[in-house]
Amino acid sequence: MTTRQLRIALQIFQSNRLRRDYSDLAEIAQYEPVGEFFFNEIYGGRDFSQRDSEARRLQHILHVMPGVNLRDVEEVLELLDLTNRLDDGLAQLMLAQGLHSDFTEATYDRCYYEADNYAQRLRQIELVRGSLYNVFRLSRMPLLGLALHRSRLLARIAGIEAAHSFLAKGFAALQGVSSIDQFAETIYSRELVRLKRIYGLET
């Protein structure tokens, strides 16, 4: 098994774990689309390398999106980059231990702890919350949806079609959401509890 194969197995595990742990959120009608986006487009079980390599070039099309600048998507870009690095590191550690795609949750938690990057994991959780609030704010801009639709060809020409599609899906998923607070704060608090449990820091 290669690092790439194990990483995809990790992503599938993480997506399934999130679906399980946040099934109550997904049952709330307004959160179902954003839940699917969160489970599939951030932690989904497939190779996102093309999208993520394109993400840093989004500034090439932001000028056609009213009211949006690079600062508005910096947290999302940092989240994608950090998640990539953490997943790669965990996959390499697990591969070095001779693990395969049939690992258990207990084995995952042990390797998660052995990777010894608590501060980065905490930052990842904070970025998830911050990104949800920021993208929700952007989704309230009515002209942005039109700009995303009209800039598809420009994104293809600029070679960032996958990254553009990621933004467009996120925008669409949030259209029926009246408030992101419950979704964002529930994820933040539960993931923080889980992180502290794995590192033996329960209070």
Domain residue ranges in the chain: 3-198
Digit-by-digit pLDDT tens for the chain (203 residues) are 788 889 889 989 998 999 999 999 989 999 999 988 888 887 776 777 777 777 777 766 766 676 676 676 778 888 888 988 999 999 999 999 999 989 999 999 999 999 999 999 999 999 999 988 988 888 887 777 777 777 777 778 778 788 778 888 888 898 999 999 999 999 999 999 999 999 999 75
Q: Are 156 and 57 within 8 A, CB to CB?
A: no
Backbone angles phi, psi at 102, to 5 degrees: -95, 25
Rounded CA-CA distance 194/203 in Å is 12
Rounded CA-CA distance 188/121 in Å is 12
Residues 6+ apart with CB under 8 A from 156: none
Q: For the chain, how many helices (H) and strands (E)?
A: 12, 0
Give the Cβ contact number of residue 134 at 10 Å.
Answer: 18
Q: How many CA atoms lie within 13 A of 129 on its CB side?
A: 16
Position 113 scores a pLDDT of: 97
Q: Are 2 and 167 within 8 A, CB to CB?
A: no
Q: What is the CA radius of gyration of the chain?
A: 17
Residue given tokens 């009211």 in the structure block: 67
pTM for the whole structure: 0.85
Residue 132 CA to chain centroid, in angstroms?
10
Count of residues making up the chain: 203
Rounded CA-CA distance 168/61 in Å is 13
Position 73 scores a pLDDT of: 75
